[in-house]
Protein backbone atom coordinates (compact mmCIF):
# COMPACT_ATOMS: atom_id res chain seq x y z
CA UNK A 1 0.00 0.00 0.00
CA UNK A 2 2.80 2.42 0.86
CA UNK A 3 4.98 2.15 -2.24
CA UNK A 4 3.04 0.37 -5.01
CA UNK A 5 1.69 3.71 -6.25
CA UNK A 6 5.25 4.99 -6.68
CA UNK A 7 6.15 2.07 -8.96
CA UNK A 8 3.53 3.16 -11.50
CA UNK A 9 3.14 6.91 -10.86
CA UNK A 10 6.67 8.06 -10.04
CA UNK A 11 7.42 8.57 -13.74
CA UNK A 12 4.69 11.23 -13.75
CA UNK A 13 6.34 12.90 -10.75
CA UNK A 14 9.75 12.85 -12.44
CA UNK A 15 8.32 14.24 -15.68
CA UNK A 16 5.77 16.83 -14.53
CA UNK A 17 7.27 17.98 -11.21
CA UNK A 18 11.03 17.36 -11.51
CA UNK A 19 11.01 18.07 -15.29
CA UNK A 20 12.99 15.10 -16.60
CA UNK A 21 12.32 14.29 -20.25
CA UNK A 22 10.14 11.23 -20.79
CA UNK A 23 12.93 8.72 -21.56
CA UNK A 24 15.06 10.12 -18.73
CA UNK A 25 12.11 9.92 -16.34
CA UNK A 26 11.59 6.29 -17.33
CA UNK A 27 15.26 5.57 -16.72
CA UNK A 28 15.18 7.30 -13.32
CA UNK A 29 12.31 5.05 -12.29
CA UNK A 30 13.90 1.82 -13.56
CA UNK A 31 17.22 2.72 -11.89
CA UNK A 32 15.41 3.26 -8.59
CA UNK A 33 13.44 0.02 -8.94
CA UNK A 34 16.53 -1.94 -9.97
CA UNK A 35 18.53 -0.62 -7.02
CA UNK A 36 15.75 -1.65 -4.63
CA UNK A 37 15.94 -5.21 -5.94
CA UNK A 38 19.72 -5.59 -6.22
CA UNK A 39 20.28 -4.27 -2.68
CA UNK A 40 18.17 -7.17 -1.41
CA UNK A 41 21.31 -9.33 -1.69
CA UNK A 42 23.22 -7.08 0.73
CA UNK A 43 20.23 -6.90 3.06
CA UNK A 44 19.95 -10.70 3.03
CA UNK A 45 23.60 -10.97 4.10
CA UNK A 46 22.98 -8.50 6.94
CA UNK A 47 19.86 -10.41 7.97
CA UNK A 48 21.83 -13.68 8.10
CA UNK A 49 24.93 -12.44 9.83
CA UNK A 50 23.96 -9.53 12.07
CA UNK A 51 20.32 -8.55 12.50
CA UNK A 52 18.12 -11.58 11.83
CA UNK A 53 15.06 -11.45 9.58
CA UNK A 54 12.66 -9.90 12.08
CA UNK A 55 14.97 -7.00 12.96
CA UNK A 56 15.80 -6.51 9.27
CA UNK A 57 12.11 -6.10 8.45
CA UNK A 58 11.64 -3.59 11.28
CA UNK A 59 14.76 -1.56 10.40
CA UNK A 60 13.82 -1.58 6.71
CA UNK A 61 10.29 -0.45 7.47
CA UNK A 62 11.66 2.49 9.48
CA UNK A 63 13.96 3.43 6.58
CA UNK A 64 11.00 3.42 4.19
CA UNK A 65 9.02 5.61 6.60
CA UNK A 66 11.91 8.11 6.83
CA UNK A 67 12.34 8.23 3.04
CA UNK A 68 8.63 8.83 2.44
CA UNK A 69 8.67 11.68 4.96
CA UNK A 70 11.62 13.27 3.11
CA UNK A 71 9.85 12.93 -0.24
CA UNK A 72 6.69 14.42 1.30
CA UNK A 73 8.62 17.44 2.61
CA UNK A 74 10.24 18.01 -0.77
CA UNK A 75 6.89 17.75 -2.58
CA UNK A 76 5.35 20.27 -0.15
CA UNK A 77 7.94 23.08 -0.16
CA UNK A 78 8.44 24.95 -3.49
CA UNK A 79 12.08 25.78 -2.63
CA UNK A 80 12.97 22.07 -2.77
CA UNK A 81 11.77 21.51 -6.34
CA UNK A 82 11.92 23.28 -9.73
CA UNK A 83 9.44 26.10 -10.52
CA UNK A 84 6.12 24.88 -12.02
CA UNK A 85 6.32 24.51 -15.79
CA UNK A 86 4.41 22.75 -18.60
CA UNK A 87 6.78 20.12 -20.00
CA UNK A 88 4.50 19.58 -23.01
CA UNK A 89 4.67 23.21 -24.17
CA UNK A 90 7.47 23.52 -26.72
CA UNK A 91 7.84 27.23 -25.92
CA UNK A 92 8.53 26.55 -22.24
CA UNK A 93 12.06 26.24 -20.92
CA UNK A 94 11.56 24.06 -17.85
CA UNK A 95 14.29 23.77 -15.22
CA UNK A 96 15.25 20.21 -14.33
CA UNK A 97 15.77 19.47 -10.64
CA UNK A 98 19.36 20.22 -9.63
CA UNK A 99 21.61 21.28 -6.75
CA UNK A 100 20.35 20.75 -3.21
CA UNK A 101 16.90 19.76 -4.45
CA UNK A 102 18.39 16.93 -6.52
CA UNK A 103 20.45 15.79 -3.50
CA UNK A 104 17.30 15.61 -1.35
CA UNK A 105 15.47 13.70 -4.11
CA UNK A 106 18.18 11.10 -4.64
CA UNK A 107 18.92 10.60 -0.92
CA UNK A 108 15.23 10.01 -0.22
CA UNK A 109 14.80 7.71 -3.23
CA UNK A 110 17.74 5.49 -2.40
CA UNK A 111 16.94 5.33 1.32
CA UNK A 112 13.53 4.16 0.15
CA UNK A 113 15.19 1.63 -2.18
CA UNK A 114 17.31 0.32 0.72
CA UNK A 115 14.29 -0.08 2.98
CA UNK A 116 12.35 -1.81 0.21
CA UNK A 117 15.29 -4.15 -0.39
CA UNK A 118 15.38 -5.19 3.27
CA UNK A 119 11.71 -6.10 3.33
CA UNK A 120 11.99 -7.99 0.04
CA UNK A 121 15.00 -9.92 1.36
CA UNK A 122 13.69 -10.82 4.81
CA UNK A 123 9.89 -10.85 4.83
CA UNK A 124 9.12 -13.76 2.41
CA UNK A 125 11.75 -15.96 4.08
CA UNK A 126 10.48 -14.98 7.53
CA UNK A 127 6.97 -16.01 6.48
CA UNK A 128 8.21 -19.33 5.08
CA UNK A 129 10.12 -19.93 8.34
CA UNK A 130 6.75 -20.34 10.06
CA UNK A 131 6.29 -23.72 8.33
CA UNK A 132 8.18 -26.99 8.80
CA UNK A 133 9.00 -28.53 5.41
CA UNK A 134 9.37 -31.97 7.01
CA UNK A 135 5.75 -31.92 8.13
CA UNK A 136 3.59 -32.89 5.08
CA UNK A 137 0.71 -30.70 6.23
CA UNK A 138 2.91 -27.66 6.88
CA UNK A 139 4.76 -28.21 3.59
CA UNK A 140 1.47 -27.75 1.71
CA UNK A 141 0.65 -24.76 3.92
CA UNK A 142 3.96 -23.16 2.93
CA UNK A 143 3.03 -23.47 -0.75
CA UNK A 144 -0.29 -21.84 0.07
CA UNK A 145 1.57 -19.11 1.97
CA UNK A 146 3.36 -17.89 -1.16
CA UNK A 147 0.02 -17.58 -2.96
CA UNK A 148 -1.40 -15.69 0.01
CA UNK A 149 1.67 -13.46 0.07
CA UNK A 150 0.80 -12.42 -3.49
CA UNK A 151 -2.80 -11.91 -2.40
CA UNK A 152 -1.66 -9.63 0.42
CA UNK A 153 0.53 -7.63 -1.95
CA UNK A 154 -2.40 -7.24 -4.34
CA UNK A 155 -4.80 -6.12 -1.61
CA UNK A 156 -2.36 -3.43 -0.51
CA UNK A 157 -1.62 -2.61 -4.13
CA UNK A 158 -5.33 -2.20 -4.90
CA UNK A 159 -5.64 0.48 -2.22
CA UNK A 160 -2.43 2.11 -3.40
CA UNK A 161 -3.48 2.16 -7.07
CA UNK A 162 -6.85 3.71 -6.30
CA UNK A 163 -6.77 5.84 -3.16
CA UNK A 164 -3.11 6.91 -3.05
CA UNK A 165 -2.74 7.48 -6.81
CA UNK A 166 -5.94 9.55 -6.79
CA UNK A 167 -4.61 11.64 -3.88
CA UNK A 168 -1.26 12.14 -5.64
CA UNK A 169 -2.89 13.29 -8.88
CA UNK A 170 -5.77 15.36 -7.55
CA UNK A 171 -4.85 16.47 -4.02
CA UNK A 172 -1.09 16.83 -4.40
CA UNK A 173 2.03 14.72 -4.16
CA UNK A 174 2.71 15.90 -0.63
CA UNK A 175 -0.64 14.52 0.56
CA UNK A 176 -0.15 11.25 -1.38
CA UNK A 177 3.32 10.69 0.06
CA UNK A 178 2.03 11.58 3.53
CA UNK A 179 -0.63 8.86 3.31
CA UNK A 180 2.06 6.39 2.13
CA UNK A 181 4.23 7.33 5.12
CA UNK A 182 1.30 6.74 7.48
CA UNK A 183 0.66 3.33 5.88
CA UNK A 184 4.33 2.40 6.35
CA UNK A 185 4.24 3.48 10.00
CA UNK A 186 1.21 1.33 10.79
CA UNK A 187 2.68 -1.64 8.90
CA UNK A 188 5.72 -1.61 11.19
CA UNK A 189 3.47 -1.35 14.26
CA UNK A 190 1.38 -4.32 13.09
CA UNK A 191 4.47 -6.41 12.32
CA UNK A 192 6.00 -5.70 15.74
CA UNK A 193 2.69 -6.58 17.44
CA UNK A 194 2.93 -10.09 15.97
CA UNK A 195 6.40 -10.85 17.34
CA UNK A 196 5.20 -13.06 20.26
CA UNK A 197 3.60 -15.37 17.67
CA UNK A 198 6.54 -15.81 15.30
CA UNK A 199 9.01 -18.64 14.90
CA UNK A 200 12.22 -16.61 15.01
CA UNK A 201 15.09 -17.57 12.72
CA UNK A 202 18.36 -17.74 14.65
CA UNK A 203 21.17 -15.58 13.24
CA UNK A 204 23.88 -17.90 11.94
CA UNK A 205 26.76 -15.44 12.25
CA UNK A 206 27.87 -16.22 8.70
CA UNK A 207 26.35 -15.69 5.30
CA UNK A 208 25.75 -18.48 2.84
CA UNK A 209 26.24 -16.00 0.00
CA UNK A 210 29.79 -15.33 1.22
CA UNK A 211 30.39 -19.05 1.61
CA UNK A 212 29.33 -19.60 -2.00
CA UNK A 213 31.63 -16.81 -3.15
CA UNK A 214 34.43 -18.56 -1.25
CA UNK A 215 33.79 -21.72 -3.29
CA UNK A 216 34.21 -19.91 -6.62
CA UNK A 217 37.33 -18.10 -5.41
CA UNK A 218 38.82 -21.32 -3.99
CA UNK A 219 38.04 -23.24 -7.19
CA UNK A 220 39.88 -20.61 -9.24
CA UNK A 221 42.84 -20.57 -6.85
CA UNK A 222 43.04 -24.39 -6.89
CA UNK A 223 42.42 -24.73 -10.64
CA UNK A 224 45.82 -26.37 -11.26
CA UNK A 225 45.30 -29.09 -8.65
CA UNK A 226 44.26 -32.59 -9.72
CA UNK A 227 40.91 -33.87 -8.52
CA UNK A 228 41.03 -37.16 -6.57
CA UNK A 229 39.29 -40.10 -8.23
CA UNK A 230 37.47 -40.87 -4.98
CA UNK A 231 35.19 -38.00 -3.95
CA UNK A 232 35.41 -39.11 -0.30
CA UNK A 233 38.92 -37.61 -0.28
CA UNK A 234 37.42 -34.15 -0.66
CA UNK A 235 37.27 -32.06 2.50
CA UNK A 236 34.21 -32.18 4.76
CA UNK A 237 33.88 -31.29 8.43
CA UNK A 238 33.37 -34.03 10.99
CA UNK A 239 29.77 -35.04 11.48
CA UNK A 240 28.36 -35.34 14.96
CA UNK A 241 25.98 -38.21 14.36
CA UNK A 242 23.99 -37.48 17.49
CA UNK A 243 23.49 -33.76 16.93
CA UNK A 244 23.85 -33.07 13.20
CA UNK A 245 20.70 -32.86 11.13
CA UNK A 246 20.72 -34.98 8.00
CA UNK A 247 20.12 -31.98 5.73
CA UNK A 248 23.00 -30.02 7.26
CA UNK A 249 25.28 -32.05 4.95
CA UNK A 250 24.86 -32.54 1.22
CA UNK A 251 26.18 -35.58 -0.67
CA UNK A 252 28.68 -35.10 -3.47
CA UNK A 253 27.31 -35.06 -7.04
CA UNK A 254 29.27 -35.54 -10.26
CA UNK A 255 28.21 -32.24 -11.87
CA UNK A 256 30.21 -29.04 -12.29
CA UNK A 257 33.29 -30.99 -11.22
CA UNK A 258 35.53 -27.92 -11.63
CA UNK A 259 33.99 -26.57 -8.40
CA UNK A 260 35.16 -29.68 -6.54
CA UNK A 261 38.67 -28.25 -6.64
CA UNK A 262 37.57 -25.84 -3.91
CA UNK A 263 37.42 -28.86 -1.55
CA UNK A 264 40.95 -30.13 -2.24
CA UNK A 265 43.17 -29.73 0.82
CA UNK A 266 46.86 -30.08 0.00
CA UNK A 267 50.17 -28.78 1.25
CA UNK A 268 52.97 -27.74 -1.14
CA UNK A 269 54.32 -31.29 -0.83
CA UNK A 270 50.94 -32.53 -2.10
CA UNK A 271 50.12 -34.21 1.17
CA UNK A 272 46.78 -33.71 2.90
CA UNK A 273 47.26 -30.95 5.45
CA UNK A 274 45.44 -29.56 8.44
CA UNK A 275 42.07 -28.20 7.22
CA UNK A 276 41.76 -25.77 10.12
CA UNK A 277 44.98 -24.07 9.04
CA UNK A 278 43.71 -23.29 5.53
CA UNK A 279 42.01 -20.08 4.44
CA UNK A 280 38.25 -20.17 3.93
CA UNK A 281 38.92 -18.62 0.51
CA UNK A 282 41.13 -21.57 -0.51
CA UNK A 283 39.47 -24.58 1.11
CA UNK A 284 35.74 -25.26 1.32
CA UNK A 285 33.66 -28.21 2.49
CA UNK A 286 31.83 -30.54 0.13
CA UNK A 287 28.53 -29.15 1.46
CA UNK A 288 29.64 -25.62 0.57
CA UNK A 289 30.60 -26.82 -2.90
CA UNK A 290 27.24 -28.55 -3.38
CA UNK A 291 25.45 -25.38 -2.34
CA UNK A 292 27.45 -23.51 -4.98
CA UNK A 293 26.50 -26.16 -7.55
CA UNK A 294 22.80 -25.72 -6.74
CA UNK A 295 23.08 -21.96 -7.25
CA UNK A 296 24.94 -22.49 -10.53
CA UNK A 297 22.27 -24.90 -11.79
CA UNK A 298 19.62 -22.23 -11.12
CA UNK A 299 21.48 -19.57 -13.10
CA UNK A 300 20.01 -20.49 -16.55
CA UNK A 301 16.47 -20.34 -15.10
CA UNK A 302 17.39 -17.08 -13.43
CA UNK A 303 18.66 -15.55 -16.69
CA UNK A 304 15.52 -16.49 -18.63
CA UNK A 305 13.32 -14.46 -16.29
CA UNK A 306 15.18 -11.14 -16.71
CA UNK A 307 13.38 -10.30 -19.97
CA UNK A 308 9.98 -10.47 -18.27
CA UNK A 309 10.93 -7.69 -15.85
CA UNK A 310 12.19 -5.69 -18.83
CA UNK A 311 8.62 -5.89 -20.17
CA UNK A 312 7.14 -5.02 -16.77
CA UNK A 313 9.27 -1.86 -16.66
CA UNK A 314 7.57 -0.57 -19.81
CA UNK A 315 4.10 -1.01 -18.29
CA UNK A 316 5.25 1.06 -15.32
CA UNK A 317 6.70 3.83 -17.50
CA UNK A 318 5.64 4.30 -21.11
CA UNK A 319 2.19 2.75 -20.69
CA UNK A 320 1.40 5.29 -17.97
CA UNK A 321 2.43 8.07 -20.36
CA UNK A 322 0.13 6.58 -22.99
CA UNK A 323 -2.72 6.81 -20.50
CA UNK A 324 -2.04 10.51 -19.90
CA UNK A 325 -2.90 11.23 -23.56
CA UNK A 326 -6.20 9.29 -23.51
CA UNK A 327 -9.72 9.90 -22.22
CA UNK A 328 -9.71 8.83 -18.55
CA UNK A 329 -13.39 9.51 -17.80
CA UNK A 330 -15.49 6.82 -16.14
CA UNK A 331 -18.48 9.15 -15.86
CA UNK A 332 -19.02 12.82 -16.66
CA UNK A 333 -17.80 13.74 -13.19
CA UNK A 334 -15.19 11.08 -12.41
CA UNK A 335 -11.91 10.16 -14.14
CA UNK A 336 -9.52 7.32 -13.39
CA UNK A 337 -5.84 8.29 -13.15
CA UNK A 338 -3.77 6.39 -15.77
CA UNK A 339 -1.47 5.11 -13.01
CA UNK A 340 -4.51 3.33 -11.53
CA UNK A 341 -4.94 1.09 -14.59
CA UNK A 342 -2.93 -1.78 -13.03
CA UNK A 343 -5.89 -2.12 -10.64
CA UNK A 344 -7.46 -4.26 -13.39
CA UNK A 345 -4.91 -7.12 -13.23
CA UNK A 346 -4.52 -6.61 -9.47
CA UNK A 347 -8.29 -7.02 -8.97
CA UNK A 348 -8.24 -10.11 -11.15
CA UNK A 349 -5.38 -11.62 -9.14
CA UNK A 350 -7.27 -10.93 -5.89
CA UNK A 351 -10.16 -12.99 -7.28
CA UNK A 352 -8.11 -15.72 -8.97
CA UNK A 353 -5.54 -16.48 -6.24
CA UNK A 354 -8.11 -18.12 -3.89
CA UNK A 355 -9.53 -20.08 -6.84
CA UNK A 356 -6.04 -21.15 -7.95
CA UNK A 357 -4.99 -22.07 -4.41
CA UNK A 358 -8.18 -23.78 -3.20
CA UNK A 359 -9.57 -25.33 -6.38
CA UNK A 360 -7.00 -25.67 -9.16
CA UNK A 361 -4.04 -26.84 -7.04
CA UNK A 362 -5.96 -29.62 -5.17
CA UNK A 363 -7.56 -30.72 -8.46
CA UNK A 364 -4.22 -30.82 -10.34
CA UNK A 365 -2.55 -32.52 -7.35
CA UNK A 366 -4.81 -35.56 -7.80
CA UNK A 367 -3.47 -36.14 -11.31
CA UNK A 368 0.17 -35.09 -10.95
CA UNK A 369 0.92 -36.10 -7.37
CA UNK A 370 2.79 -32.79 -7.00
CA UNK A 371 1.95 -30.82 -3.83
CA UNK A 372 1.81 -27.55 -5.82
CA UNK A 373 -0.43 -28.98 -8.58
CA UNK A 374 2.00 -28.27 -11.41
CA UNK A 375 5.76 -27.94 -11.23
CA UNK A 376 7.30 -24.57 -10.47
CA UNK A 377 8.97 -24.45 -13.88
CA UNK A 378 5.70 -25.17 -15.70
CA UNK A 379 4.12 -22.29 -13.81
CA UNK A 380 6.98 -19.95 -14.77
CA UNK A 381 6.76 -21.01 -18.43
CA UNK A 382 3.08 -20.04 -18.65
CA UNK A 383 3.93 -16.57 -17.36
CA UNK A 384 6.74 -16.09 -19.87
CA UNK A 385 4.41 -16.85 -22.78
CA UNK A 386 1.83 -14.42 -21.44
CA UNK A 387 4.40 -11.62 -21.09
CA UNK A 388 5.19 -11.93 -24.81
CA UNK A 389 1.48 -11.80 -25.64
CA UNK A 390 1.09 -8.76 -23.39
CA UNK A 391 3.75 -6.83 -25.31
CA UNK A 392 2.14 -7.77 -28.64
CA UNK A 393 -1.22 -6.50 -27.40
CA UNK A 394 0.48 -3.32 -26.14
CA UNK A 395 1.89 -2.75 -29.64
CA UNK A 396 -1.54 -3.19 -31.26
CA UNK A 397 -3.16 -0.81 -28.76
CA UNK A 398 -0.45 1.80 -29.39
CA UNK A 399 -1.09 1.55 -33.16
CA UNK A 400 -4.77 2.23 -32.52
CA UNK A 401 -4.04 5.11 -30.12
CA UNK A 402 -1.69 6.83 -32.58
CA UNK A 403 -4.19 6.24 -35.37
CA UNK A 404 -6.84 8.12 -33.39
CA UNK A 405 -4.40 10.98 -32.74
CA UNK A 406 -3.52 11.18 -36.45
CA UNK A 407 -7.13 10.94 -37.68
CA UNK A 408 -8.21 13.78 -35.37
CA UNK A 409 -5.15 15.98 -36.08
CA UNK A 410 -4.08 15.70 -32.44
CA UNK A 411 -0.51 14.46 -32.79
CA UNK A 412 0.69 17.56 -30.96
CA UNK A 413 -2.13 17.63 -28.37
CA UNK A 414 -1.15 18.38 -24.78
CA UNK A 415 -1.59 15.31 -22.53
CA UNK A 416 -4.25 15.48 -19.79
CA UNK A 417 -5.67 18.85 -20.88
CA UNK A 418 -6.32 17.70 -24.47
CA UNK A 419 -7.19 14.00 -24.21
CA UNK A 420 -7.55 11.91 -27.34
CA UNK A 421 -11.08 10.61 -28.10
CA UNK A 422 -10.13 7.05 -27.10
CA UNK A 423 -10.71 5.50 -23.69
CA UNK A 424 -7.74 4.77 -21.48
CA UNK A 425 -9.32 1.39 -20.78
CA UNK A 426 -7.85 0.15 -24.06
CA UNK A 427 -4.62 -0.14 -22.06
CA UNK A 428 -6.31 -2.51 -19.64
CA UNK A 429 -5.81 -5.43 -22.05
CA UNK A 430 -2.01 -5.37 -21.78
CA UNK A 431 -2.17 -4.82 -18.00
CA UNK A 432 -4.69 -7.65 -17.62
CA UNK A 433 -2.61 -10.21 -19.53
CA UNK A 434 0.58 -9.23 -17.74
CA UNK A 435 -1.23 -9.48 -14.39
CA UNK A 436 -1.95 -13.16 -15.09
CA UNK A 437 1.70 -13.60 -16.11
CA UNK A 438 2.64 -12.14 -12.71
CA UNK A 439 0.50 -14.73 -10.95
CA UNK A 440 2.32 -17.56 -12.66
CA UNK A 441 5.90 -16.43 -13.10
CA UNK A 442 6.88 -14.34 -10.08
CA UNK A 443 5.11 -16.47 -7.48
CA UNK A 444 6.33 -19.61 -9.24
CA UNK A 445 9.90 -18.32 -9.14
CA UNK A 446 9.65 -17.32 -5.48
CA UNK A 447 8.48 -20.79 -4.52
CA UNK A 448 10.92 -22.49 -6.91
CA UNK A 449 13.98 -20.76 -5.48
CA UNK A 450 12.87 -21.33 -1.88
CA UNK A 451 11.87 -25.00 -2.27
CA UNK A 452 14.85 -26.01 -4.41
CA UNK A 453 17.42 -24.38 -2.16
CA UNK A 454 18.94 -26.56 0.60
CA UNK A 455 18.56 -25.55 4.23
CA UNK A 456 21.64 -23.33 4.25
CA UNK A 457 20.31 -21.32 1.30
CA UNK A 458 16.70 -20.78 2.40
CA UNK A 459 17.35 -17.33 3.80
CA UNK A 460 18.87 -15.97 0.59
CA UNK A 461 16.84 -17.93 -1.96
CA UNK A 462 14.28 -15.15 -2.49
CA UNK A 463 17.15 -12.84 -3.48
CA UNK A 464 17.46 -14.81 -6.73
CA UNK A 465 14.05 -13.49 -7.78
CA UNK A 466 14.77 -9.93 -6.67
CA UNK A 467 18.15 -10.00 -8.43
CA UNK A 468 16.48 -11.16 -11.62
CA UNK A 469 14.04 -8.26 -11.39
CA UNK A 470 16.84 -5.81 -10.62
CA UNK A 471 18.72 -6.84 -13.76
CA UNK A 472 15.49 -6.50 -15.74
CA UNK A 473 15.03 -2.91 -14.58
CA UNK A 474 18.67 -2.00 -15.22
CA UNK A 475 18.44 -3.70 -18.62
CA UNK A 476 15.41 -1.51 -19.39
CA UNK A 477 17.52 1.61 -18.86
CA UNK A 478 20.23 0.23 -21.15
CA UNK A 479 17.79 -0.96 -23.84
CA UNK A 480 15.98 2.41 -24.01
CA UNK A 481 19.31 4.19 -24.53
CA UNK A 482 20.50 1.65 -27.11
CA UNK A 483 17.22 1.83 -29.05
CA UNK A 484 17.30 5.63 -29.12
CA UNK A 485 20.93 5.64 -30.25
CA UNK A 486 20.33 2.96 -32.92
CA UNK A 487 17.23 4.72 -34.34
CA UNK A 488 18.56 8.26 -34.05
CA UNK A 489 19.18 8.70 -37.77
CA UNK A 490 16.16 6.84 -39.15
CA UNK A 491 13.31 8.73 -37.44
CA UNK A 492 12.23 12.36 -37.61
CA UNK A 493 11.99 12.56 -33.82
CA UNK A 494 15.65 11.52 -33.44
CA UNK A 495 14.88 8.06 -32.02
CA UNK A 496 11.96 5.74 -31.28
CA UNK A 497 11.54 7.02 -27.70
CA UNK A 498 13.08 10.52 -27.80
CA UNK A 499 11.28 13.65 -26.55
CA UNK A 500 8.13 14.30 -24.52
CA UNK A 501 5.58 13.90 -27.33
CA UNK A 502 4.68 10.21 -27.23
CA UNK A 503 2.36 10.71 -30.24
CA UNK A 504 5.39 11.42 -32.42
CA UNK A 505 7.40 8.51 -31.03
CA UNK A 506 7.50 4.91 -32.25
CA UNK A 507 6.51 3.13 -29.06
CA UNK A 508 4.58 0.50 -31.03
CA UNK A 509 7.80 -0.67 -32.71
CA UNK A 510 9.51 -0.82 -29.33
CA UNK A 511 6.69 -3.01 -27.97
CA UNK A 512 6.91 -5.33 -31.00
CA UNK A 513 10.64 -5.69 -30.42
CA UNK A 514 10.03 -6.66 -26.78
CA UNK A 515 7.32 -9.16 -27.77
CA UNK A 516 9.64 -10.92 -30.23
CA UNK A 517 12.49 -10.83 -27.72
CA UNK A 518 10.21 -12.36 -25.08
CA UNK A 519 9.11 -15.13 -27.43
CA UNK A 520 12.71 -16.03 -28.26
CA UNK A 521 13.47 -15.98 -24.55
CA UNK A 522 10.59 -18.43 -23.90
CA UNK A 523 11.96 -21.00 -26.36
CA UNK A 524 15.37 -20.73 -24.70
CA UNK A 525 13.63 -21.22 -21.34
CA UNK A 526 11.88 -24.40 -22.57
CA UNK A 527 15.27 -25.87 -23.52
CA UNK A 528 16.82 -24.86 -20.18
CA UNK A 529 13.88 -26.08 -18.09
CA UNK A 530 13.94 -29.51 -19.74
CA UNK A 531 17.57 -29.87 -18.69
CA UNK A 532 16.93 -28.90 -15.09
CA UNK A 533 16.64 -31.69 -12.51
CA UNK A 534 14.66 -31.00 -9.37
CA UNK A 535 16.59 -31.78 -6.23
CA UNK A 536 13.42 -32.73 -4.34
CA UNK A 537 13.67 -36.46 -3.68
CA UNK A 538 10.07 -37.13 -2.71
CA UNK A 539 8.78 -40.01 -4.88
CA UNK A 540 5.51 -38.33 -5.82
CA UNK A 541 7.26 -35.27 -7.06
CA UNK A 542 10.09 -37.13 -8.78
CA UNK A 543 7.72 -39.38 -10.74
CA UNK A 544 5.59 -36.45 -11.80
CA UNK A 545 8.59 -34.52 -13.01
CA UNK A 546 9.92 -37.47 -15.01
CA UNK A 547 6.51 -37.84 -16.69
CA UNK A 548 6.24 -34.12 -17.50
CA UNK A 549 9.56 -32.45 -18.12
CA UNK A 550 8.36 -29.45 -20.13
CA UNK A 551 7.85 -26.14 -18.33
DSSP per-residue letters across 417-479: TS-EEEEGGGGHHHHHHHHHHHHHHHHHHHHHHHHHS-GGGHHHHHHHHHHHHHHHHHHHHHH
What's the rounded mean pLDDT across residues 315-327?
83
User: pLDDT band at residue 535, thresholds of 50, 70 and 90?
Assistant: low
Would you state the pLDDT for residue 209?
Answer: 74
Q: Is 301 found in the same domain as 198?
A: no
CATH number, residue 383? 1.20.1250.20
Confidence check: pLDDT of 29 > 50: yes
Tens-place pLDDT, residues 107-164: 999 999 999 999 988 888 888 888 876 777 776 777 778 778 878 888 898 899 889 9
What's the rounded mean pLDDT across residues 161-181?
90
Q: Is 324 found in the same domain as 192?
A: no
**Domain end: 155, 188, 203, which one?**
203
Q: Is 433 found in the same domain as 325?
A: yes
Asked whether residue 409 is domain-assigned, the answer is yes
Q: Is 461 found in the same domain as 336?
A: yes
Q: Is 424 found in the same domain as 308?
A: yes
Q: What percent of the chain has pLDDT over 90?
A: 21
Asked whether residue 542 is domain-assigned, the answer is no
**Domain end: 203, 234, 257, which one?**
203
Asked whether residue 429 is domain-assigned, the answer is yes
Tens-place pLDDT, residues 496-528: 887 778 888 888 999 999 999 999 999 999 999
Would you state the pLDDT for residue 545?
Answer: 33
Asked whether residue 225 is domain-assigned, the answer is no
Confidence check: pLDDT of 264 > 50: yes
Confidence check: pLDDT of 424 > 80: yes
User: pLDDT band at residue 30, thresholds of 50, 70 and 90?
Assistant: confident
Cα 457 to Cα 86, 452, 461, 532, distances in angstroms: 51, 9, 6, 18
Least confident of 79-93, 345-359, 455-469: 455-469
Would you state the pLDDT for residue 537?
Answer: 45
Would you state the pLDDT for residue 238?
Answer: 64
Q: Is 191 found in the same domain as 298?
A: no
Which range of residues forms the domain containing residue 418?
294-537
Least confident of 30-39, 42-51, 101-110, 182-191: 42-51
**What total of structural domains would you count in the chain?**
2
Q: Is 299 found in the same domain as 191?
A: no
Cα 36 to Cα 154, 173, 511, distances in angstroms: 19, 21, 25
Asked whether residue 246 is domain-assigned, the answer is no
Asked whether residue 98 is domain-assigned, the answer is yes
Asked whether residue 300 is domain-assigned, the answer is yes
Asked whether residue 35 is domain-assigned, the answer is yes
**Domain end: 203, 226, 242, which one?**
203
CA dihedral over 48, 49, 52, 56, signed as positive or negative: negative
Amino acid sequence: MAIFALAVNLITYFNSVMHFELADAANQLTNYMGTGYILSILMAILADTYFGRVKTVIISGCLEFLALILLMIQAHYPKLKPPPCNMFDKQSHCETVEGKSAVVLYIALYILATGTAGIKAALPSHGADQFDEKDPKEAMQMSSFFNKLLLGLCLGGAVSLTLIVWIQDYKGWDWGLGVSAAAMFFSVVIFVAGMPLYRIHIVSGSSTILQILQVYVAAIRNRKLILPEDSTHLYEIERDKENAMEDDFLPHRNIYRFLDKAAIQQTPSRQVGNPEASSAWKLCTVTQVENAKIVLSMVPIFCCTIIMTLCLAQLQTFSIQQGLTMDTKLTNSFSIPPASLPIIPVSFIILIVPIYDKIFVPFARKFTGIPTGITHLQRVGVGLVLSSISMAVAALVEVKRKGVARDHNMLDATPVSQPLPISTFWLSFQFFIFGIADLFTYVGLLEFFYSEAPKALKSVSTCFLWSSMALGYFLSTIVVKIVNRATEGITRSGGWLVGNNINRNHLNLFYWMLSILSLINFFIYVFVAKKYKYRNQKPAVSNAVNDSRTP
